[in-house]
Chains A and B, each alone.
Chain A
Amino acid sequence: MYVYDEFDREFLAERVAEFRDQVARRLEGTLTEDEFKPLRLMNGVYLQLHAYMLRVAIPYGTLNSDQLRRLAHVARTYDRGYGHFTTRQNIQFNWIRLEDLPDAMAALAEVGVHGIQTSGNCIRNVTTDQWAGATPEEFDDPRIWAEILRQYSTLHPEFTYLPRKFKIAITAAPKDRAATKVHDVGLRLHRNEAGELGFEVLVGGGLGRTPFVGKLVRPFLPVQHLLSYIEAIMRVYNQYGRRDNIYKARIKILVHEIGAEEFSRAVEAEWESIRDGALHLTPEMIAEIRARFLYPAFEAAQDQPAELVEALGDERFATWYANAVHRHKVSGYAIVTVSLKPIGAPPGDATADQMEVVAALADDYGFREIRVGHEQNLCLPNVAQKDLPALWRRLDAAGLATPNVNHISDIIACPGLDYCALANARAIPVAQEIAKRFSDLDRSRGIGRLHVNISGCINACGHHHVGHIGILGVEKNGQEFYQITLGGRADEKAQLGTLLGPAVSYEQVPGLIEDVVDTYMELRAGPHELFIDTVARLGVEPFKERVYAAH
């Protein structure tokens, strides 16, 4: 956990006071809505279809149990008893009143939680691997670098009014769980041949109406130059990014229009002038931030303790264990994914009660730590293997042990037309119906890893372009239609999906998805060939023929 110090706490209190003043000026009319809008957005406050929405940052996906309990409190006191975890390590409250916002924010600020820069044309919440600090795969804890960037970007005087929003993601493991290749800046932490730590820097990835995979601008950036290099990228973008058209204002368009090489040249030229300046990270600065991350006092323990081995005789436990538990870097411990995708519920939603259950479980078994991943599930990163059976029983009782992580019913979906003012079509009910069709766990286990991503409009908050199966809601003559893509992926081999064929109606979607899956089951080379690999091997044509013949 990163521990806030007196500076962080002071800043947060000052920010809440500033927003309280801005709300007061808006309510008395000295701030127009047009003037207020960017200010509230930069505190995470949206005006949605039915009400104001508060988006709260969970920096690099890390929460402690007190913070999660406070989120539950806000859900219960100011909302309708639940919150929605998003694909960018945020949580959204959909039913908050403007007058209550400063109080809700003050309650969150007491435990170091806030909505700062979760929206607006600024550098957004920096995201990373939800297994950070726990997985044996990583080169370093990426949260250290995400925290350095969080501090750097917080109320940055030069980069608060960029052409458009700006999202940075970091992975420190070869397996990319942070979708870094579809971010404005994607950073891959690794070591070079000399053993030094540095970042591979990708720029210009992103989804939305013009999707791109990020382009490589620097294969190895020594870590001490992280901030100066990011500043150089931001400065080039701030000056030359398009401002004439909101849909062409993201950095990906600038990179695309002038080319990655030209863009890289401009960044390197700017960087030359500042690389040894005030932003140069000394070992002391890095150590200072690193020292603020506290790690659990792990006990010496063996893998596969007797308690676990015995419990694995229970088939239900064993099924959950195989699905939700992953290897930890410390022997005797495990990483546990908590599915927020029970069959039939809105993906990513958690009730206040469920949040409190997870907080209590983190207290009892997980060193008080909880993570949020971009797949809209929670994670307990540090659980002793001997505690897994007890943990499972309590998760199961709270409806949080659905063994469907990475399965077809573990769907990523945006709030869609049920909440969002931008949406053209519903997303949540589509997810619910697909999950119901595949509620048979033996069947879904047989299908294996398959990511379904649903967006209710072209803005792509459900990341449909990078779903193994992507579903995009569009509007035609006042009716909801859905375009299906196959073969997208958000990991280290990121690519955009290929359109399967003509859009289909709302009612046809679940059946069509079943046909796609049936086709895969028939065509796959064997049970070990994943859906995504079958699509890569055969292309979408065989799927198209089968699916559209049936409809």
Chain B
Amino acid sequence: MPLIENGRIIEDRFVRVSDEDALPEGVPVLIGIDRFLKEAEALKGRQAPVGVIWPNNRPIAEIERYLGQLSLIALNFPIFRDGRAYSQARLLRERLGWKGPLRAVGNVLRDQFLLMQRSGFDQIEAAKEADAQAFDEAVHRYTVFYQPATDERPSLLRQRLGRTPRG
């Protein structure tokens, strides 16, 4: 599945490894939560980068103690209609101060790209090739944003100030 970072399709450096398989040496890996929690101590000694797929049903605040040993955090969209990861993403960025890569994985579709970007995701693993090609269009559909979020886009709450109301 194509991986988009800051608007460009990039090569995924991370290898996704299941809980049963051995971790390959010297390669960045992305692993599930069960394995990560079980091996968190041992993983601290690992030379190559480690990323985790944090599940929707575990409070994101619990990730705080591990942030120092993580190089990538992925949040899951089991179905595009499940929006828990948006809150997790914003809390990671705004509350826990995560500056590293934050990836949206799962049933990630074009019509949600903009919401993901606004919530702090900088990597998007698109479920469909055609959606990845349309990324630029999808995140530039709107020029007007009513509310402040995690991204840098100015919100109308502030933009409107200091000008005379017009009809």
Contacts and interface: CB of A to CB of B under 8 A. Distances in A.
A39 interface: yes
B142 to A, nearest CB: 5
Contacts of B167: 3
A14 B95 contact: no
A364 interface: no
Contacts of B59: 239
A22 B114 CA distance: 15
Contacts of B118: 157
Nearest to B162: A284
B159 interface: yes
B10 interface: no
B66 interface: no
Contact of A288 (B91, B148, B155, B165): B165
A284 B86 contact: no
Interface string B126-167: 000010000000000111111111100001111111000111
A158 B81 contact: no
Interface centre among A7, A161, A279 (most CB of B within 10 A): A161
Interface residues of A, number: 42
Given A11-B142, A158-B119, A161-B83, A3 B147 contact: no
A5 B166 contact: yes
Interface stretch (A148-156, A316-324, A450-458, A522-530): A148-156
B165 A17 contact: no
A288 B146 contact: no
Given A11-B142, A285-B161, A235 B114 contact: no
A160 B143 contact: no
Contacts of A152: 146-147, 157
A155 B146 contact: yes
A30 B130 contact: yes
Contacts of B165: 3, 5, 288, 291-292
B87 A158 contact: yes
B88 interface: yes
Contacts of A159: 83, 86
Contact of B157 (A3, A14, A22, A278): A278
Contacts of A243: 82, 84
Contacts of B84: 238-239, 243
Interface of B: 59, 80-84, 86-88, 90-91, 95, 109, 111-112, 114-116, 118-119, 130, 141-150, 155-161, 165-167
12 contacts: A3-B165, A8-B144, A14-B143, A14-B144, A35-B109, A154-B147, A157-B86, A158-B119, A239-B87, A279-B157, A285-B160, A291-B165
Given A38-B80, A160-B115, 15 more contacts: A7-B144, A14-B141, A14-B142, A15-B142, A18-B141, A30-B130, A35-B111, A39-B111, A153-B147, A158-B90, A158-B115, A160-B83, A235-B87, A239-B87, A279-B157
Nearest 8 pairs between A and B by C-beta? A161-B83, A157-B118, A278-B148, A11-B144, A157-B115, A158-B86, A151-B146, A238-B87
